[in-house]
Amino acid sequence: SSGSRDEVLRDKRAQIMSRGLPKQKPIEGVKQVLVLASGKGGVGKSTAAVNIALALAANDSTKEVGLLDADIYGPSIPKMMNLKGNPELTPKNLMRPLKNYGIACMSMGFLIEETAPVVWRGLMVMSAVEKLLRQVDWGQLDYLVIDMPPGTGDVQLSVSQNIPIAGAVIISTPQDIALLDARKGAEMFRKVHVPVLGLVQNMSVFQCPKCKHETHIFGADGVKDLAKSLELDILGDIPLHVNIRETCDSGQPVVISQPQSDA
Protein backbone atom coordinates (compact mmCIF):
# COMPACT_ATOMS: atom_id res chain seq x y z
CA SER A 1 0.00 0.00 0.00
CA SER A 2 1.05 3.61 -0.43
CA GLY A 3 1.08 4.07 3.37
CA SER A 4 3.68 1.36 3.98
CA ARG A 5 5.73 2.59 0.98
CA ASP A 6 5.80 6.09 2.51
CA GLU A 7 6.95 4.57 5.79
CA VAL A 8 9.81 2.70 4.09
CA LEU A 9 10.87 5.91 2.31
CA ARG A 10 10.76 7.84 5.59
CA ASP A 11 12.95 5.21 7.28
CA LYS A 12 15.45 5.28 4.41
CA ARG A 13 15.59 9.07 4.50
CA ALA A 14 16.18 9.01 8.27
CA GLN A 15 19.04 6.50 7.83
CA ILE A 16 20.69 8.60 5.11
CA MET A 17 20.34 11.78 7.21
CA SER A 18 21.80 10.13 10.32
CA ARG A 19 24.78 8.88 8.28
CA GLY A 20 25.47 12.44 7.15
CA LEU A 21 25.57 13.90 10.67
CA PRO A 22 28.93 13.85 12.46
CA LYS A 23 29.16 11.75 15.59
CA GLN A 24 29.71 13.91 18.68
CA LYS A 25 33.07 13.15 20.22
CA PRO A 26 34.32 14.86 23.41
CA ILE A 27 37.54 16.88 23.33
CA GLU A 28 40.17 14.83 25.13
CA GLY A 29 40.79 16.04 28.68
CA VAL A 30 37.91 18.56 28.65
CA LYS A 31 35.02 18.04 31.09
CA GLN A 32 32.62 20.86 30.16
CA VAL A 33 32.38 23.04 27.06
CA LEU A 34 30.71 26.45 27.27
CA VAL A 35 30.11 28.40 24.05
CA LEU A 36 29.72 32.18 23.92
CA ALA A 37 27.77 33.31 20.88
CA SER A 38 26.02 36.27 19.32
CA GLY A 39 24.08 36.65 16.13
CA LYS A 40 25.68 40.01 15.34
CA GLY A 41 29.32 41.11 15.45
CA GLY A 42 30.48 44.02 17.60
CA VAL A 43 28.29 43.33 20.63
CA GLY A 44 31.20 42.54 22.98
CA LYS A 45 31.11 38.75 22.76
CA SER A 46 34.89 38.21 22.86
CA THR A 47 35.23 40.65 25.78
CA ALA A 48 32.55 38.69 27.62
CA ALA A 49 34.17 35.33 26.75
CA VAL A 50 37.57 36.44 28.09
CA ASN A 51 36.12 37.84 31.32
CA ILE A 52 33.86 34.81 31.87
CA ALA A 53 36.83 32.44 31.48
CA LEU A 54 38.85 34.52 33.96
CA ALA A 55 35.87 34.72 36.34
CA LEU A 56 35.38 30.93 36.28
CA ALA A 57 39.02 30.51 37.31
CA ALA A 58 38.86 33.35 39.89
CA ASN A 59 35.72 31.96 41.56
CA ASP A 60 37.26 28.53 42.10
CA SER A 61 41.05 28.22 42.09
CA THR A 62 40.80 24.41 41.92
CA LYS A 63 39.29 24.59 38.41
CA GLU A 64 41.38 24.52 35.23
CA VAL A 65 39.97 26.76 32.49
CA GLY A 66 40.76 27.01 28.78
CA LEU A 67 39.72 29.54 26.14
CA LEU A 68 39.32 28.69 22.45
CA ASP A 69 38.99 31.46 19.87
CA ALA A 70 36.87 29.92 17.08
CA ASP A 71 36.71 33.16 15.09
CA ILE A 72 38.99 32.36 12.16
CA TYR A 73 38.57 35.66 10.27
CA GLY A 74 38.77 38.04 13.25
CA PRO A 75 40.61 36.43 16.18
CA SER A 76 40.80 38.84 19.13
CA ILE A 77 41.71 36.57 22.06
CA PRO A 78 45.53 36.95 21.59
CA LYS A 79 45.34 40.74 22.08
CA MET A 80 42.81 40.60 24.91
CA MET A 81 44.80 37.92 26.78
CA ASN A 82 48.13 39.65 26.03
CA LEU A 83 49.57 36.61 24.24
CA LYS A 84 51.92 36.38 21.25
CA GLY A 85 53.90 33.62 19.58
CA ASN A 86 53.43 30.23 17.99
CA PRO A 87 52.26 27.16 19.90
CA GLU A 88 54.87 24.47 20.56
CA LEU A 89 54.17 20.95 19.33
CA THR A 90 54.04 17.90 21.59
CA PRO A 91 55.71 14.59 20.57
CA LYS A 92 52.22 13.53 19.35
CA ASN A 93 52.15 16.57 17.01
CA LEU A 94 49.48 18.37 19.03
CA MET A 95 49.63 22.14 19.62
CA ARG A 96 50.27 23.33 23.17
CA PRO A 97 48.00 26.26 24.15
CA LEU A 98 49.62 29.54 25.18
CA LYS A 99 48.91 30.53 28.76
CA ASN A 100 48.32 33.78 30.63
CA TYR A 101 46.52 34.62 33.88
CA GLY A 102 46.26 30.86 34.44
CA ILE A 103 44.08 30.37 31.32
CA ALA A 104 45.17 28.05 28.49
CA CYS A 105 44.39 29.78 25.17
CA MET A 106 44.29 28.70 21.54
CA SER A 107 43.51 30.94 18.57
CA MET A 108 44.02 31.24 14.84
CA GLY A 109 45.79 34.47 15.80
CA PHE A 110 48.75 32.40 17.09
CA LEU A 111 49.16 30.70 13.70
CA ILE A 112 49.15 33.73 11.35
CA GLU A 113 50.70 37.19 11.32
CA GLU A 114 48.75 39.72 13.40
CA THR A 115 48.03 41.97 10.40
CA ALA A 116 47.52 39.19 7.84
CA PRO A 117 43.95 38.77 6.59
CA VAL A 118 42.55 35.23 6.35
CA VAL A 119 41.29 35.05 2.76
CA TRP A 120 39.80 31.55 2.81
CA ARG A 121 36.75 29.76 1.52
CA GLY A 122 34.45 27.69 3.72
CA LEU A 123 36.25 24.33 3.46
CA MET A 124 39.57 25.78 4.63
CA VAL A 125 37.84 27.54 7.53
CA MET A 126 36.16 24.27 8.57
CA SER A 127 39.52 22.47 8.40
CA ALA A 128 41.08 25.14 10.63
CA VAL A 129 38.22 24.86 13.16
CA GLU A 130 38.64 21.07 13.21
CA LYS A 131 42.37 21.50 13.93
CA LEU A 132 41.68 23.98 16.76
CA LEU A 133 39.18 21.52 18.27
CA ARG A 134 41.04 18.24 17.81
CA GLN A 135 44.76 18.96 17.46
CA VAL A 136 45.35 20.84 20.72
CA ASP A 137 46.77 19.31 23.90
CA TRP A 138 44.51 20.93 26.52
CA GLY A 139 45.80 18.77 29.38
CA GLN A 140 42.98 18.39 31.91
CA LEU A 141 40.36 21.16 31.82
CA ASP A 142 37.24 21.58 33.93
CA TYR A 143 35.89 24.21 31.53
CA LEU A 144 36.67 25.13 27.95
CA VAL A 145 35.10 28.45 26.95
CA ILE A 146 34.67 28.77 23.18
CA ASP A 147 34.40 32.26 21.70
CA MET A 148 32.30 31.66 18.58
CA PRO A 149 32.32 33.88 15.50
CA PRO A 150 29.17 35.97 14.94
CA GLY A 151 26.31 34.47 12.98
CA THR A 152 24.68 31.06 12.61
CA GLY A 153 26.75 29.49 9.82
CA ASP A 154 29.11 26.59 9.17
CA VAL A 155 31.41 27.12 12.16
CA GLN A 156 28.58 27.32 14.70
CA LEU A 157 26.89 24.21 13.27
CA SER A 158 30.14 22.26 13.03
CA VAL A 159 31.17 23.01 16.62
CA SER A 160 27.65 22.26 17.91
CA GLN A 161 27.41 18.94 16.07
CA ASN A 162 30.98 17.68 16.57
CA ILE A 163 31.45 18.07 20.32
CA PRO A 164 29.14 17.73 23.32
CA ILE A 165 28.37 21.22 24.67
CA ALA A 166 27.26 21.78 28.26
CA GLY A 167 25.61 25.08 27.40
CA ALA A 168 25.54 28.22 25.26
CA VAL A 169 25.44 31.85 26.42
CA ILE A 170 24.07 34.47 24.00
CA ILE A 171 25.52 38.00 24.19
CA SER A 172 23.59 40.96 22.77
CA THR A 173 23.15 44.69 23.14
CA PRO A 174 19.58 45.93 23.77
CA GLN A 175 19.42 47.38 20.24
CA ASP A 176 16.58 45.98 18.09
CA ILE A 177 18.86 45.12 15.18
CA ALA A 178 21.16 43.07 17.46
CA LEU A 179 18.20 41.36 19.13
CA LEU A 180 16.94 40.00 15.80
CA ASP A 181 20.21 38.11 15.35
CA ALA A 182 20.43 37.10 19.02
CA ARG A 183 17.04 35.40 18.68
CA LYS A 184 18.31 33.51 15.61
CA GLY A 185 21.37 32.39 17.60
CA ALA A 186 19.26 31.08 20.46
CA GLU A 187 16.91 29.27 18.07
CA MET A 188 19.85 27.69 16.22
CA PHE A 189 21.24 26.18 19.42
CA ARG A 190 17.80 24.83 20.31
CA LYS A 191 17.56 23.19 16.88
CA VAL A 192 20.88 21.36 17.36
CA HIS A 193 19.92 20.43 20.96
CA VAL A 194 22.47 22.62 22.74
CA PRO A 195 21.07 23.97 26.03
CA VAL A 196 20.95 27.78 26.10
CA LEU A 197 21.94 28.79 29.65
CA GLY A 198 20.72 32.35 29.17
CA LEU A 199 21.39 35.79 27.73
CA VAL A 200 23.80 38.55 28.69
CA GLN A 201 22.74 42.15 28.06
CA ASN A 202 25.86 44.11 27.15
CA MET A 203 26.48 47.88 26.78
CA SER A 204 23.11 48.48 28.44
CA VAL A 205 23.70 51.88 30.07
CA PHE A 206 26.33 54.63 29.92
CA GLN A 207 26.95 56.73 33.01
CA CYS A 208 28.62 60.11 32.46
CA PRO A 209 31.80 60.11 34.61
CA LYS A 210 31.31 63.83 35.39
CA CYS A 211 27.61 64.32 36.14
CA LYS A 212 26.64 60.62 36.66
CA HIS A 213 23.68 61.01 34.30
CA GLU A 214 22.70 57.64 32.78
CA THR A 215 21.95 57.21 29.06
CA HIS A 216 20.65 54.02 27.43
CA ILE A 217 22.54 54.44 24.17
CA PHE A 218 21.43 51.12 22.65
CA GLY A 219 18.02 50.95 24.36
CA ALA A 220 17.02 49.91 27.86
CA ASP A 221 15.63 46.39 28.34
CA GLY A 222 15.67 44.79 24.89
CA VAL A 223 17.61 41.68 25.93
CA LYS A 224 15.47 41.24 29.04
CA ASP A 225 12.33 41.35 26.90
CA LEU A 226 13.85 38.85 24.46
CA ALA A 227 14.81 36.52 27.32
CA LYS A 228 11.24 36.65 28.59
CA SER A 229 9.80 35.79 25.17
CA LEU A 230 12.26 32.89 24.76
CA GLU A 231 11.69 31.78 28.40
CA LEU A 232 15.41 32.13 29.15
CA ASP A 233 17.33 33.64 32.07
CA ILE A 234 19.22 36.92 32.06
CA LEU A 235 22.70 36.01 33.32
CA GLY A 236 24.10 39.53 33.52
CA ASP A 237 23.58 43.18 32.62
CA ILE A 238 26.87 44.86 31.70
CA PRO A 239 27.18 48.66 31.38
CA LEU A 240 28.93 50.48 28.55
CA HIS A 241 32.07 51.41 30.48
CA VAL A 242 35.40 52.72 29.23
CA ASN A 243 37.30 50.53 31.73
CA ILE A 244 35.93 47.32 30.22
CA ARG A 245 37.06 48.38 26.75
CA GLU A 246 40.45 49.81 27.80
CA THR A 247 41.45 46.83 29.95
CA CYS A 248 40.70 44.34 27.16
CA ASP A 249 42.51 46.46 24.56
CA SER A 250 45.58 46.56 26.81
CA GLY A 251 45.55 42.80 27.43
CA GLN A 252 44.57 43.15 31.10
CA PRO A 253 40.83 42.24 31.20
CA VAL A 254 38.77 43.94 33.90
CA VAL A 255 38.14 40.72 35.88
CA ILE A 256 41.89 40.30 36.40
CA SER A 257 43.05 43.96 36.57
CA GLN A 258 40.14 45.53 38.50
CA PRO A 259 38.40 42.63 40.30
CA GLN A 260 36.80 44.92 42.92
CA SER A 261 35.32 47.40 40.42
CA ASP A 262 31.59 47.57 39.66
CA ALA A 263 32.31 46.53 36.06
Burial class of residue 1 (count of CB atoms within 10 Å of its CB; 0-12, 13-18, 19+):
exposed
Average pLDDT, the chain: 88
Q: Which of 30-34, 48-52, 258-262 has the lowest mean pLDDT?
A: 258-262
d(CA 209, CA 116): 37
Widest pairwise Cα distance in the chain: 79
Domains along the sequence of the chain with CATH: 26-258 (3.40.50.300)
Residue range 94-107, pLDDT digits in tens: 999 999 999 999 99
- State the amino acid at position 130 in one-letter form: E
pLDDT per residue as tens digits for the range 7-24: 777 777 766 655 555 578
What is the pLDDT, as a whole number, of residue 204? 87
Q: Quote the pTM value.
A: 0.85
59-76 confidence digits (pLDDT tens): 999 999 999 999 888 889
- At residue 188, what are phi and psi to the nearest 5 degrees? -60, -45
Grouping H, G, I as helix, E, B as strand and the rest as coil, residue 70 is coil
Is the pLDDT assigned to residue 168 strictly greater than 90? yes
